[in-house]
Structure 1
Amino acid sequence: MYSMWLSAEEQRVWRGYLAMVAELQVAMNRQLQRDCGLSLADYEVLVALAERGAQRMFELGEALAWEQSRLSHQLRRMRERGLVSRQGATDDRRGATVTLTDAGRAALRKAAPGHAALVRSVLFEGMPATRRKALSEVIDTVRERLRESPV
């Protein structure tokens, strides 16, 4: 039977994980802002559209695991800066399609090298292949459990 509280070790691991994710997001956001004037959210949208092509709003939201309101606000800001365009019915958010503009593609090309370098330097450099594999397995297991969970 499980206790209603995490054990001391579980708590240490969990809080360490949360701190790592927060610190990594801050570092990525700062690097992107400094080097190319993009936010981490901008970058995530640009990458998703570059990888998948034009997306309906709900598909893009699912791909990013974002709530619809967050996505709508983010896309509005990105449209105002000319990074993405939106086509489709104005009264049906699910029916609207989002695409990268030429400016969005250029911004992604400018941002990607520095972003990859940061992620590589803080996460992968010096990490043996066995640890990378173990980390990948943990991530896959948690994501699978979340997909199966009714939460």
Structure 2
Amino acid sequence: MTPAEAPRWLSHEEQLAWRAYLRGSRLLVQALDDDLRPTCQLTEYELISMLSEAPGQRMRMSHLADDIVQSRSRVTHTANRLEQRGWVRRERAKDDGRGVEITLTDAGRAAIDELAPRHLASVRQHLVDALTHEQLMALGDAMAVIRDRLCPNHHEIGIDD
């Protein structure tokens, strides 16, 4: 192995920061998920939340998968569960008939209306109120850099519109 191929090991400070991020982000997702149960899972909430913000409360499944950073098969499984509850409906894409679009139903809209205050309280408790305003803004800025580096053509409904 040449010196150029040698791994660039993390410094002690970098390792501490990496581990804090890794464990903290996992614990945060777990807490947010726990606070939505037993009504739904965080991944389900994220899906119906994104639909609630989309024009006509409707999106292509592939676009939705990209937006919530989930595989298409995982989004399909999540959509199956939500469809069984009557919260979403899947149909052939209106524009070309090849893709599949997912639409939020009236029951799904009612679920969002019920769950949103609980999710908001959870986000505030476990993230927003745990940090100073400056820390929260720095976290958002840092994660935006990571997002833009890993997905330069991202699109976030309601954020970048």
TM range (shorter): 0.7 to 0.9
2:73 maps to 69
Q: Determine which of 120, 138, 142 is the counterpart of 2:142.
A: 138
1:95 maps to 99
When normalised by structure 1's length, the TM-score is 0.86
* Mapped contact 1:57–1:94 kept (Cα < 8 A): no
2:19 maps to 15
When normalised by structure 2's length, the TM-score is 0.81
Q: Which has the higher helix share?
A: 1
* Mapped contact 2:65–2:71 kept (Cα < 8 A): yes
* CA root-mean-square deviation: 2.1
Q: Separation in 1 of the partners of 2:144 and 2:13?
A: 21
- 19 and 94 in structure 1: CA distance in 2 versus 1, 3 angstrom threshold: farther
Alignment of 1:107-126 (within 5 A): 107-125=111-129
| SS of aligned partner of 2:102 | strand
Mind listing any 5+ residue stretches in structure 2 that lack a counterpart?
153-161
- Identity %, equivalent residues: 38
Q: Separation in 2 of the partners of 1:128 and 1:72?
A: 38
* Mapped contact 1:88–1:95 kept (Cα < 8 A): yes
1:50 maps to 52
Q: CA deviation at 1:147?
A: 2.0
Q: How many residues align?
A: 144
AA in 1 matched with 2:64: L
